[in-house]
Structure 1
Amino acid sequence: MTVLDAVSPASSPSEIAAQARRGELETNRRMLRLWLGIVMLAIFALVVVGGATRLTDSGLSITEWKPIHGVIPPLSAEEWQEEFDLYRQIPQYQEVNRGMSLDEFKVIFWWEWAHRFLARAVGVLFAVPLVFFWATGRIEPRLRLPLVGLFFLGGLQGFVGWWMVASGLTERVDVSQYRLAVHLTLACIIFASIMWVSRGLAPHSTDAPPTERSHLAAGGLALFVLFQIYLGALVAGLNAGFAFNTWPLIDGAFIPAGLFVMDPAWLNLFENVKTVQFVHRMTAYALWFAALAHMVVALRHGAGSTHANRAMVLFFLVTMQALIGIITLVMVVPLNWALLHQAFAVVVLGFAVAHWRAFYGSYAPTGRLAAAG
């Protein structure tokens, strides 16, 4: 049934026009949500492939930044040898992979190439529909600046990716954990921002929030998840997951010795393997208790509401992520479990942001629709 079919014969021309515009708005919003959903799936895949690239020590296999020409991989034996010769000049090959064959090099090359190819694909998936929807008037004025901002954030992410790789090409055998953490966190910020915009375009429940501060708790949890991802990136950057593979004790104690042996003390939070892993564990516990408290309050004051139901789902997701993290640790970071841990972190972040955004309702109609209604 079309919008016009639903209009009663007694409807005035202005009411008919308003309903037609409302139907047009809903159609445009569905199209935008579909587009943004595809972009989020591509970013999710990019984060997973990026994790595999890190875990297989493949991130330094391509030693040059060629944003355009780099989309074409080596196509001849000569080109493969040229890439391999460039790799053999960096410390990672000389100190870690000396003697690697060309066929072994191709394995790590393809991981990094796939990561960069996906990054370019995300850019195209975002930019081309953005231009089309803008040119055809399907993007509401309020969304234009945020979407353009996201486009530029994506460009910045490409630069940050190369900045990260460059840190491992001269004096290190791997990339800087500082830069790796920035790279992953920025990817998650972009993902979360797209989720925020997309959720605002969707219909929302009219249930009242459980408490007046429920939206603050939801926002705090979303930011807490993002912070925990940052800490996890530091763990990955230091290969800290391969040390102290027991739980719940770490190095034989719940609070081990040697957490602040570096001077100045703050340096331990970023460069001491034991301290970085310990902090990641402790914040995981804190996040779990915060999600539990959020759920309990929501159920106590609004049992049966969509807000309370989402709080329950969020607590379940946080619990699952904690269990995956424990299994990954005690199994000494097998590739499949480590990738699941990283991928599920993005799932938890996406749901936490959607849960937070739901407290604010859908975007109100603007422009011609507002004038007509």
Structure 2
Amino acid sequence: MSKRAIFEEVGAAPEKPGAATPGAADAAKVAARRAVRVWLILLAVLVALMVVVGGLTRLTDSGLSITEWNLVMGALPPLSAADWNTAFEAYKTTDEFKLENSWMTLADFRPLFWWEWGHRFLGRLIGVVWLLPLLWFAVRRMIPRGWGLRLVSVGVLGGLQGAVGWWMVWSGLSARVDVAPYRLMVHLGLAFLIFGLLCWFIFQLGRAEWALLQARRARVDGLRFWGGAALAALFLQILLGALVAGTDGWAGWNTWPLMDGVFMAPEVSTLSPAWANHFENPAMTQFQHRWTALLPLGLALVFLLRAGRSGHRRSKTWATALFHGLWVQAGLGVATLLLLAPNDMIWLALLHQIGALALLALAIRAQFEVSYPGEQKISV
């Protein structure tokens, strides 16, 4: 082996094949986090679409048109005249058909069937869109650390939602001509819970883990309380709206602010036991939904005032958006009440439901901003 000169010029050593590039691991984590976030955004869009189609299914009274639940074979619609006749004959056995829709022909039945079938098909599609990418991310080790259980919980809640959906439909196929309103409330509430959970996960994945940890140090706990209170009140209002839909409470007392000239319609207490009025009585469910709307509005106002004094600019921005959004939603609610029944303006009721989805996303975003403040303005 020859000796090397003391002042020998040293060149750059050749790179070894397959050597890791500095920062490649971090870049892979960022890319994986971004991919999971895109997947969750797709799931959130599908869940929102599911809520909208479910609303149309309710508004068109299509929810009992399919009288059985078959996870695999039920994914296929009727493919022949014989299949359609079988589905229609099954519907004819329901109390809804016998007592309310005995005038229907097969041609009248088909649109109802398609709404319910589309609603169930979307549920199956969401299950596939959740499961297959989750397995792919798991095999490729792309799930961010600590996120496995959170991502699995979305699918578990989705499966529970399917079971609750059938539990709701079954109530309308046995000893009733419609689904039980409280079961509809649970079904819709769970859908909004899944949507809200997806929104929170999406917002978290939009920032790096270290940035979230750093932002937590600047949070204002009192502000988080008021944001959380406004969010909870909004969710309660959504549940009460589901009871209005379940009892067809929008179909009467179509005046505002009084109910046909009085503050509280006398029909609010016609059921026995008394507690049943809060879940089954159209007058009571409408009365509840009318006036509990003041609760999220009031809490959102306090939240906005507190956010304005916090110095967190983005928190104030989102609190402002939530407060104004609630007023828009209230206006839509009043318009739906005044115009829906006489003019059959289904699109207005649907817009009101879409507004609830948008408001929930707004409220969760506002709560996220106060939980993980991004920037602070120094007041002078």
AA aligned opposite 1:269: H
- The Cα of 1:144 is off from its aligned counterpart by 0.6
Q: Quick one: which of 292, 315, 321 aligns to 1:313?
A: 321
1:227, distance to aligned residue in structure 2 (A): 1.3
Alignment of 1:177-188 (within 5 A): 177-188=181-192
1:185-264 to structure 2, matched below 5 A, reads: 185-203=189-207, 211-264=220-273
Classify the secondary structure of the residue corresponding to 2:262.
coil
AA paired with 1:278? F
Contact 1:196-1:357 within 8 A present in 2 as well:
yes
Alpha-carbon displacement from aligned partner over 1:210-265 (angstroms, at most 9, x marks no partner): 84411111122222211111110001000001111111111312344453444433
For residues 91 and 202 of structure 1, the distance between their equivalents in structure 2, rounded to whole angstroms, comes to 50
Aligned-residue offset at 1:350: 1.6
Please say if 1:354 is aligned against 2:365: yes
Give the number of equivalent residue pairs.
347
What are the superposed Cα offsets for residues 127-158 of structure 1, whole Å, 9 maximum, x if unpaired?
11111111111112311111112211111111
Q: Which string of whole-angstrom CA distances, capped at 9 and with x for unpartnered residues, describes residues 31-77 of structure 1?
A: 11111001000000000000000010000000010111111100110
Structure 2, unaligned stretches of length 5 or more? 1-19, 374-380
* Distance in structure 1 (CA, Å) of the matches to 2:315 and 2:310: 10
Instruction: Work out whether 1:335 is the aligned partner of 2:346.
Output: yes
- SS of the residue corresponding to residue 332 of structure 1 reads helix
CA distance in 2, matches of 1:105, 1:276: 30
Cα separation, 1, equivalents of 2:225 and 2:121: 38
2:333 pairs with 1:322:
no
Give the secondary-structure state (helix, strand or coil) at the position aligned to 1:115.
helix
Separation in 2, partners of 1:285, 1:250:
17
Aligned to 2:28: 24
Separation in 1 of the partners of 2:120 and 2:217? 44
Matched position secondary structure for 1:168: helix
Structure 1 132/192 Cα, relative in aligned 2: closer, same or farther at 3 Å? same
Look up the match of 1:130.
134
TM-score by length of 2: 0.86
Q: Can you list the C-alpha shifts for 1:316-360, whole angstroms capped at 9, x where unaligned?
A: 211111111111000035210111111110111122112212333
Structure 1 letter corresponding to 2:42: I
Q: Which of 90, 93, 96 pairs up with 2:94? A: 90
Note closer, same or farther for the CA distance 1:18–1:258 as it changes in structure 2 (3 Å cut): farther
Query: Structure 1 counterpart of 2:365, which letter?
Result: A
Secondary structure of residue in 2 paired with 1:109: helix
Residue 51, structure 1, aligned to residue 55, structure 2: yes
The SS at the match of 1:142 is coil
1:22 deviation in Å? 2.7
- Of the structure 1 ranges 96-105 and 206-215, higher mean CA displacement relative to structure 2 is found in 206-215
After superposition, give the CA deviation of every residue in 1:66-104 in whole Å (9 maximum; x if it has no partner).
111111100110000000000001011111110211111
Q: Does the 8 Å contact 2:77/2:117 carry over to 1?
A: yes
Q: Which letter maps to 1:109? A: F
Equivalents in 2 of 1:192, 1:233: separation in Å? 17
TM-score, structure 1 length as denominator? 0.88
Question: Structure 1: how far apart are the matches of 2:273 and 2:61?
Answer: 30
3-state secondary structure, aligned to 2:62: coil
Residue in 2 that maps onto 1:365 = none
- Is 2:298 aligned against 1:294? no
Q: Is the Cα–Cα contact under 8 Å of residues 200 and 361 in structure 1 kept in the other structure? A: no
Task: Say if 2:355 is the partner of 1:344.
Answer: yes
Change (3 A) 1:141 1:212: closer
Higher relative contact order (CA 8 A, sep 6+): 1
Return the alpha-carbon distance in structure 2 between the equivalents of residues 306 and 263 of structure 1: 50
Consecutive unaligned residues of structure 1, counting only runs of 5 or more, are 1-15, 363-373
Contact kept in structure 1, 2:218 and 2:372, CA below 8 Å: no
Q: Which one has a bigger Cα radius of gyration?
A: 2
